Structure formats: C-alpha cells, structure tokens
Structure 1
Amino acid sequence: MKPFAYERADSAEVAVREAGTAGAKFIAGGTNLLDLMKLQVETPQTLVDISRLPLSEIEEREDGGLTIGALVPNSDLAADARVIERYPVLSRALLAGASGQLRNKASTGGNLLQRTRCYYFYDTAMPCNKREPGTGCSAREGFNRILAVLGTSENCIATHPSDMAVAMRVLDATIVTLKADGDRRRIAIADFYRLPGDTPHIETALEAGELITHVELPAPPRGKQIYRKVRDRASYAFALVSVAGVVEVADGRIASASLAFGGLGPMPWRDAGVEAALVGKAPDDIAFGAAADALLANARGYGSNDFKIPLARRTLIASLRELTEA
C-alpha cells in the first residue's frame, strides 16, 4: 500500500471541500476501497474519513417511502422492519450479498460505488482500460466467466458487483449528493451509472469530490417482490445472474412489472422492453419467454461466460413464475 494522508471530516461540507483536491477519496466502511489500495489498484493521495458524519438514519418520507442515510450499514438496512415489510426485494438483496461481518461494515453509499470484481482489473500486471485507460481489455480474450454479456464495449466487459444496487434500480431509487461547490443534486438511479463505451474508467455520474449523502426510496410498489440470485456457492459469492422483480397480477393479467438484473451488465441492468413484453399479458410461459427474448436480444458472450445467456433466460422465467403464482 502506498503512503497517503488521512483527514477526518466533521461535516459533509468539510468532507466535500477536502475531497475536492486531486487524488482524494472518501472512506466509510472501506470494505472495497482498502482491498484495492492494498493491491495498488487504487492509490489515493488522501483519504477523507466520513464514517462519523450524521448520515446513519433511516427516515420516513411523506409519500410513504424512506430516506436512507449513506452511512447506514447494510446489515441495519436489511434488518429494518420497514424495509422488510415494504421493500422485501431490498432486504433479500442485501442479505444475499457478502458475509455478515462485511454487511456490518459496508455502507449504503459505498455499496452503490463498489468497483468490478473482474480478475484483470485486480491484477495490476495485466492491461485494463478501467484501471488504466488506453491499455486494453484483457478480459475479452481471457477468462471472463463472471463478466458481462449486456452493455459491453470494445473497451470493457466488466460487471457491476452490487446486489443492493440491483434492488435499488427496480425500486426507482434516487441518489442525493452534495457537490464540492456546496450544491446538492438528486440523481435518479437510472441516470447514475454509465455504460463503458470509450471511457470504462468513468463509472457513475458523480463529479470529483461529490458525496452521496442519502438514498430516497419512493412509496412501495404494488405487487409481489422477490430477489433471486444464482451464484457459485451459497455464501460470499457475487452473482452470475440475479433478478430483482416486482410484479402485480390483476384479473388474470400482469398489471405492472418492474425487473432489474445483476451479473449481466456493467451496471444494474433494466430494460423497458422486458417489462413491456409482460404488461397486459397472461402470466404464462409464452409471455415469460417473450420477456427473456427481449432481455437477451443483444446479449453477447465472450467464451467462458457464454453460459450466462441461457442461465439468464432460465433464471428470469423461474423468477416470473414465482412472482405470478397465486
């Protein structure tokens, strides 16, 4: 690990001011950042400790939703009675991620900002456009079993690793931030993450020194909620494919459907065409197959991850059967 300066912020305003300097990074739980620093994938000149800021509360909203502080630990969020009752997809996604010890430390804001677990991103001896722009993507012709089949580019096929973010995407969360100049922003999660394109190292809409302070959830959606995760082992494994779903069935038809996917793309993946293929249809395998066709129309495997395409189809159909069963 390379030497770095350490500053402890006593307010969000101080934090963004200190983080506005070149080479600065925020740290809260540090469950991802510290690993990357040990490998010298991340080499911040300054760490700004935000762990003691008053951002650890879950508050009611007038619309029936919740405002979640960026420092709420994943374990606390998963166990909150309001989350369990109103947003079970979120609670289940959190419990499917990492180990209990890590969930005790990992923060809500940090979870959204996890970086890919691509083997080549972590290996500083290998070319990686996400780690060092312009050097190339070793994964495309390498071992890419866990990597993306949707939303990729010639420059990167990495996946986003968060389970929580997939549930937040299906719930249409809004991310509240404080910028280095003191302005505040509210960013819909649909606009928060960026496709790799020619700039895979730019992963979110955040500006330099911008701090996530809260996540807002709207009123709970109507319908049944599930989170289904397919992984190599039952504990502490990232998703090969995951589905966060909210579906309402009325009068024998699918009245509404919201679906987001993990393990398939460089961001929590959501495709309006998948939902459009379901709404108004009878909840049967014909409609489910059409939704899978819409999801995977542009999917591309890169060798050792080819299996993800049929696996995604089976996982989606199984999830839809569970969501629509009486």
Structure 2
Amino acid sequence: MRSCAYVRAASVEEAVAEVAADPEAAYLAGGTTQVDLMRDEVFRPARLVDVTRLPLRGVRRDGGVLVAGALTTMEELAAHEDVTARLPLVREALLRGASPQLRHMATLGGNLLQRTRCRYYRDPSQACNKREPGAGCAALDGHHRTHAVLGTSPHCIATHPSDLAVALLALDASVRVHGPDGERTLPLTEFYRTPGATPHVENALAHGELITHLEIPLLPAGARSGYLKVRDRASYEFALASVAAALVLDGGRIRSARLALGGVGTVPWRVPRAEEALLGARPERGVFEAAAEAALAGAEGRPDNGFKIELGRRAVVRMLSTLAEEGGS
C-alpha cells in the first residue's frame, strides 16, 4: 500500500477545493471498498481528503421525498421509519447488500460509487481497460460467470455491484452534487455510464465533484414493492441477478410499474419497455413473462454467463408474482 497525503476537510467547499486542485486526489468516507483497493495497488491516490466530519449525515422528509445526506450509513437509512413503511424495496436492498458490520460503516454516497468486483479489475497483473485504459479485457476470454449480459462492450463486461443503486434507480432517485462550478442535481438515470470504449469513465461526475445528498421519492400509499436478490449463497454475496420492483394495483389492473435489474448489467439497469408492458394489464403470469422478455431484450451472454439471461427473466417473473400475490408493502 503506497503512502499518500491526508487532509481532513472542515467544510464541503474546502473538500471540493482540495480535490479539484489535485488530479490525483480523492475523497475518503467510509472507505469499506476504497481501502481494499489501495491495499491491492488498484487505487493509488496521491492525496485523500477525509469528508467524514462534514454535516452530510441524516435523513429528513421533504414532502414526498426523502433527503438523505451522502454520509448517512446504509444501516441508518434501512432503519428509517419512512423507508420501512413506504420503501420496502430500498430497505431490502440495503439489508441484502452488505453484512451488518459493513452497513454500519458504509455510506450511501460510497455505495453508489463503489467499484466493480471483477477479479481482473482488482488484480493489477491482469489486463483491464477499466483500471488501465487500452490494456484490454481479460474477462472476455477468462472466467466471466458473474459478469454482465446487458450494457457490455468489446472493452468491458464487468457488472456494477450496488444493490441500493438498483432500488433507487427504480424510484427515479437523484443525487445532489457540489463541485468547483457550484451545485447541481443529477437523476440516477443519467448518472451511470455504460463502458463503451471508455470503461474507466463510470459516471457523470467531474473531478472534484462531491455527492452531498440523495433525493429518494416515496412510493404512493398502497404501492407494493420489493427487492429480490439471487446469489450463490444466502450470506453476504453479490447478485447473480436482482430485481427491484414496485406496482400500484387499482381495479384489478396495474396502474403504475417500476422495474430495475442488478447483477446482469454493467450499470444498474432500468427497463422502461418492461414497465410499459405492465401498464394497464392484469397482474397475471403471462403478463409478467412478457415484461421479463422485454427486460432482458438485447442481453448478450458468453459461454460462462449466458445462464444469467434466463435467470434474470425468472427473477423478474418471481418478483412481480410475489408483489401481485402477497401485496409486498
């Protein structure tokens, strides 16, 4: 692990100025992923700006939106009364996304920005375009059972690991960002970047920009929601496929539908065509199967991970069937 300079910021403005002034500087919050990457020589900042003492922690309700500070921990958001009552899909994604120890340390902002668990990205001896642009992608012909089938490119097939991001994407959540040029708000639907020819560009943040808050719209009263995570083991593990879904039923038909996938995409994957297939329809298996087909349309599997396409379809049908039969929230 290489040495680096350490600065503890006293304000958001100071933190932004410190990082923006140094191309090799980075923010440090919970550090649950970042420190591991530094130990592995994958992440090598020259300067770390500690933001953990900034007043960016806590959750408050602003009308129909929850505003959560980016330094709020996963456990704190999962325990919030409005999340428990109105956003079961978020609570379930948080509880299934990490062990209790990690949930008490990991921050919301850090969770959204966590790096892929691709073994080739995390091994400096292997070729990885995400870690070193132009180096190649060892996963293409290597072990890729856990890799993505949606949003891939010839340059990268790594999956995005966040469970929380999938649930928030389904809700049309946004992030507030403070940077050298001031503040702005970004919908999560515009935040993540598929790899294309530049896998190292993972999101829309400019250097020096800091996520300060998350804006999470509440589902309407009576909405049914949940998060299904399919993985190799029930204990702490990343998703092979996951589904965040919310339905509003009225008069025996689906009046509103939200659907996003995890574990199968290079980014958290919203599926508007699948949502459209559900609108106005009766909550029946045939309808759910059509939505599942739409959700995985365009998926491209490789020899080891092609099973994820059918697994993703089945996960969609199971999640929607559960909400229709059991009432979710």
Preserved contact between residue 87 and residue 218 of structure 2 (Cα < 8 Å): no
Partners in 2 of 1:12 and 1:266 — Cα distance?
A: 30
* SS of match in other structure, 2:255: strand
**Residue pairs, 1:227-242, within 5 angstroms:** 227-242=227-242
**Residue pairs, 1:302-321, within 5 angstroms:** 302-321=302-321
CA-to-aligned-CA distance 1:104-157 (integer Å, 9 cap, x gap): 100010000011001100111010000000011111111111110001011000
* SS of match in other structure, 2:120: helix
Aligned-pair distance for 1:220? 2.4
Partners in 2 of 1:131 and 1:138 — Cα distance?
A: 12
Partners in 2 of 1:264 and 1:293 — Cα distance?
A: 14
CA-to-aligned-CA distance 1:65-121 (integer Å, 9 cap, x gap): 210000001111111112111211111100001110011100010000011001100
Task: Tell me the residue number matched to 1:41.
Answer: 42
Preserved contact between residue 73 and residue 103 of structure 1 (Cα < 8 Å): yes
Partners in 2 of 1:174 and 1:167 — Cα distance?
A: 12
Which deviates more, 296-305 or 98-107?
296-305
Task: Tell me the residue number matched to 1:195.
Answer: 194
Task: Tell me the residue number matched to 1:56.
Answer: 57
Task: Tell me the residue number matched to 1:279.
Answer: 279
CA-to-aligned-CA distance 1:149-199 (integer Å, 9 cap, x gap): 001011000110001111111111110010023x00100010000010010
Partners in 1 of 2:217 and 2:228 — Cα distance?
A: 22
Preserved contact between residue 261 and residue 271 of structure 2 (Cα < 8 Å): no
Task: Tell me the residue number matched to 1:288.
Answer: 288
* SS of match in other structure, 1:66: strand
* SS of match in other structure, 2:186: strand
Aligned-pair distance for 1:216? 0.6
Letter in 2 for 1:33: Q
Please tell me whether residue 2 in structure 1 is matched to residue 28 in structure 2. no
Aligned-pair distance for 1:49? 0.2
* SS of match in other structure, 1:91: helix
* SS of match in other structure, 1:120: coil
Partners in 1 of 2:161 and 2:14 — Cα distance?
A: 30
Partners in 2 of 1:257 and 1:56 — Cα distance?
A: 31
Letter in 2 for 1:23: E
CA-to-aligned-CA distance 1:16-72 (integer Å, 9 cap, x gap): 0001111001011000100000001100000000001011111110x2221000000
Partners in 1 of 2:137 and 2:128 — Cα distance?
A: 5
Question: Percent of aligned pairs with the same residue?
Answer: 51
* SS of match in other structure, 2:103: helix
* SS of match in other structure, 1:119: coil
Task: Tell me the residue number matched to 2:164.
Answer: 164
Aligned-pair distance for 1:218? 2.0
* SS of match in other structure, 2:97: coil
Partners in 1 of 2:303 and 2:129 — Cα distance?
A: 20
Q: TM-score, normalised by structure 1?
A: 0.98
Task: Tell me the residue number matched to 2:179.
Answer: 179
Q: TM-score, normalised by structure 2?
A: 0.97
CA-to-aligned-CA distance 1:246-288 (integer Å, 9 cap, x gap): 0112112111110011001011101111111111111112111
Letter in 2 for 1:87: L
Please tell me whether residue 71 in structure 1 is matched to residue 71 in structure 2. yes
**Residue pairs, 1:202-217, within 5 angstroms:** 202-217=201-216
Preserved contact between residue 248 and residue 324 of structure 1 (Cα < 8 Å): no
Q: What 5-or-longer segments of structure 2 have no aligned partner? A: none
Preserved contact between residue 273 and residue 294 of structure 2 (Cα < 8 Å): yes
* SS of match in other structure, 1:6: strand
Aligned residues between the structures: 324
Partners in 2 of 1:287 and 1:221 — Cα distance?
A: 23
Partners in 2 of 1:103 and 1:243 — Cα distance?
A: 20
Please tell me whether residue 83 in structure 1 is matched to residue 91 in structure 2. no
Question: Deviating runs (4+, > 6 A) in structure 1?
Answer: none
Task: Tell me the residue number matched to 2:258.
Answer: 258
Aligned-pair distance for 1:3? 1.2
Task: Tell me the residue number matched to 1:97.
Answer: 97
Q: Could you say what the CA RMSD is over the residues aligned between the two structures, in angstroms?
A: 1.0
Task: Tell me the residue number matched to 2:143.
Answer: 143
Aligned-pair distance for 1:205? 0.3
Partners in 2 of 1:312 and 1:190 — Cα distance?
A: 20
Preserved contact between residue 221 and residue 246 of structure 1 (Cα < 8 Å): no
Partners in 2 of 1:262 and 1:225 — Cα distance?
A: 16
Partners in 1 of 2:161 and 2:302 — Cα distance?
A: 18
Letter in 1 for 2:325: E
Preserved contact between residue 273 and residue 295 of structure 1 (Cα < 8 Å): yes
* SS of match in other structure, 1:96: helix
